[in-house]
Amino acid sequence: MAKIVCVLYDDPVDGYPKAYARDDVAQPKCYPDGQTLPSPKAIDFKPGTLLGSVSGELGLRKFLESNGHRLVVTSSKDGADSVLDQELPDADIVISQPFWPAYMTRERIAKAPKLRLIVTAGIGSDHTDLQAAIDRNITVAEVTYCNSISVSEHVVMMILALVRNYIPSYQWVVKSGWNIADCVARSYDLEAMQVGTVAAGRIGSAVLRRLKPFDVGLHYFDRHRLSESVERDLNVTYHPSVESMVEVCDVVTINCPLHPETEHLFNDVVRIHRLVRISVFARRVDIIFENLGAHFRALTLKLRTPAASRARRRRARRIAFDRRGDRRGAGAESYPPRFSRRLRDRRVARCVNRAAP
pLDDT tens for each residue of 87-114: 999 999 999 998 899 999 999 999 999 9
Is pLDDT larger for residue 290 or for residue 251?
251
Q: What is the mean pLDDT of residues 280-291?
A: 56
Q: What is the mean pLDDT of residues 49-60?
A: 96
pLDDT of residue 277: 53
Considering the chain, what is the average pLDDT of its residues?
80
- Give the pTM: 0.75
290 pLDDT tier (thresholds 50, 70, 90)? low
Q: Strand pairing partners for 231?
A: none
192 pLDDT tier (thresholds 50, 70, 90)? very high
Asked if residue 305 has pLDDT above 60, the reply is: no
Q: What is the mean pLDDT of residues 257-263?
A: 76
pLDDT of residue 313: 46
Is pLDDT larger for residue 270 or for residue 297?
270
Within 10 A of 138 (CB to CB), how many other CB atoms are there? 20
Give yes or no for a contact between 190 and 159, defined as CB atoms under 8 angstroms apart. yes
pLDDT of residue 281: 59
pLDDT of residue 41: 85
**In this structure, what is the dihedral angle of CA atoms 24, 206, 169, 351, given to the nearest 10 degrees?**
150
Cα separation values, 127 from 171, 179, 186, 256, Å? 34, 43, 36, 15
Q: Which of 32-36, 222-226, 254-258 has the lowest mean pLDDT?
A: 32-36
Q: What is the mean pLDDT of residues 226-241?
A: 96
AA letter at 80: A
Q: What is the mean pLDDT of residues 78-88?
A: 96
For residue range 135-187, what is the model confidence (pLDDT) as tens digits? 999 999 999 888 889 999 999 999 999 999 999 999 999 998 889 999 999 99
pLDDT of residue 267: 66
Give yes or no for a contact between 97 and 120, defined as CB atoms under 8 angstroms apart. yes
Domains of the chain (ranges, CATH numbers): 3-142 (3.40.50.720), 148-355 (3.40.50.720)
pLDDT of residue 270: 54
